[in-house]
Amino acid sequence: MTKLEQDELSSKIAYITINPSGNFLKSAQLGFEAVGLKPKYLIYVKPTDRLKKEFKKYRLSFFTKFLFPQFKKFFRNKKSFSNEEVDIKIENNIIVSKLNSQNTVDIINNLGIKYLINCGAGIFRKKIIEIPELIILNAHAGKLPSYKNMNVVEWAIFNEDKVYGTVHQIDFGIDTGPTWIEKEIIMDKKTSLLDAREHAFDVVIKMVGKAILIHEEGKLKPISYNPSEGKKWYRMHSYFQNRVEKKLNK
């Protein structure tokens, strides 16, 4: 791909996130840079809805239980999951107040975005998914369809299965869209659960750029599943987390 073609492709790619300072976005940028791409747009979904939801949930302890820990975690972070300093500028930052709004649809249409990279934006509804020609990609640290939903890195380790990174297209279900590419993630020398998770996220989000290139070259063969196939996993209880930690320490 020539520089011109790379630039043209980059102008069709946008990140979408509620956390522009998150490690996820930084790792994604590194992954794109490695294949010569530099997505031009960042759609920042204001976390108002999420905050409202969390306020409803926590009420009295909204600040201590939710807001302060979030600030601590994300405030002005410049690092990727692999702890590399990332200072790659994104040309256009666009702010939207709601993910699944007509405003978001209009922005995506007007900018002519072809690939929307989900870096933790929330759950996409019909309105966005059905935008013609738009492909929404998600990086998932588990083999599909066996490991859908949450905490799949730790569940795979617990079950003594291999951990996979999967780039898949988003459709109406959770982790049910066709798989574009997958790759085994080697977990050597990971001594803690957090370490293992961050390593897996780092590897998988960096795969997105490569997946787009393969797609553009017409060499991609997506694998589709029946949405009812496989298993949905949920937040792991500390009882199992401790067991995973023990396995990692072995």
Partner 1 sequence: MNTIKLIKNHKNKLIPIFFSCFKPLNFIVLLRNFLSFLSGPKWEDYINKNNLTYNSLIKKGISWIKSSQDKVGSGGVGCYEFYRWTKGYPEVTGYIIPTFFECFKIYDDIDLKNRAIRMTDWELSIQNLDGGWEGQYEGDGKPSIVFNTGQVLRGLISSFKETKDKKYLNSAIKAADWIVKNQDKDGSWSSANFKKMKRVYDTYVTAPLSELYLITKNESYAKSCRKNCDFVLSQQNKNGWFNNADNTLLNNDAPVLHTISYTIDGLIETGLNLNEDKYISSAKLAANFLLHKSEITNFMPARFDKKWRKKSNYSCLTGNAQLGIIFLRLYEINNDVRYINAALKLADFLAYTQKLNSIGKFRNGGITGSYPIWGMYCPLKYPSWATKYYIDLLILIKKHTDLD
Instruction: Please report how close the Cβ of residue 55 comes to partner 1 at its closest, in angstroms.
Output: 9
Q: Based on C-alpha coordinates, what's the Rg of the chain?
A: 18
Looking at the Cβ atoms of 49 and 84, the one nearer to partner 1 is 49
Instruction: Please report how close the Cβ of residue 240 comes to partner 1 at its closest, in angstroms.
Output: 6
Q: Mark out the alpha helices in the chain (DSSP H runs).
A: 3-10, 23-34, 48-58, 68-74, 102-111, 126-129, 152-158, 193-216, 238-249
Looking at the Cβ atoms of 161 and 216, the one nearer to partner 1 is 161
Looking at the Cβ atoms of 61 and 109, the one nearer to partner 1 is 61
Instruction: Please report how close the Cβ of residue 156 comes to partner 1 at its closest, in angstroms.
Output: 12
CA 149 to chain centre: 12
- Separation CA 8–CA 84 (nearest Å): 27
Instruction: Please report how close the Cβ of residue 233 comes to partner 1 at its closest, in angstroms.
Output: 7
Looking at the Cβ atoms of 40 and 140, the one nearer to partner 1 is 140
How many Å from the N-terminal Cα to the C-terminal Cα in the chain? 45
Residues interacting with partner 1, by CB under 8 A?
57-62, 65, 158-159, 231-240
Looking at the Cβ atoms of 85 and 160, the one nearer to partner 1 is 160
Instruction: Please report how close the Cβ of residue 79 comes to partner 1 at its closest, in angstroms.
Output: 27
Looking at the Cβ atoms of 163 and 205, the one nearer to partner 1 is 163
Instruction: Please report how close the Cβ of residue 197 comes to partner 1 at its closest, in angstroms.
Output: 17
Looking at the Cβ atoms of 36 and 122, the one nearer to partner 1 is 122
Torsion angles phi and psi, residue 170, rounded to 5 = -85, 130
Residues comprising the chain, all counted: 250
Torsion angles phi and psi, residue 182, rounded to 5 = -140, 155
DSSP assignment of 101-133: SHHHHHHHHHHT--EEEESS--PPPHHHHTSTT
Instruction: Please report how close the Cβ of residue 92 comes to partner 1 at its closest, in angstroms.
Output: 35
32, two tokens: 């794109």
CB 230 within 8 A of CB 178: no
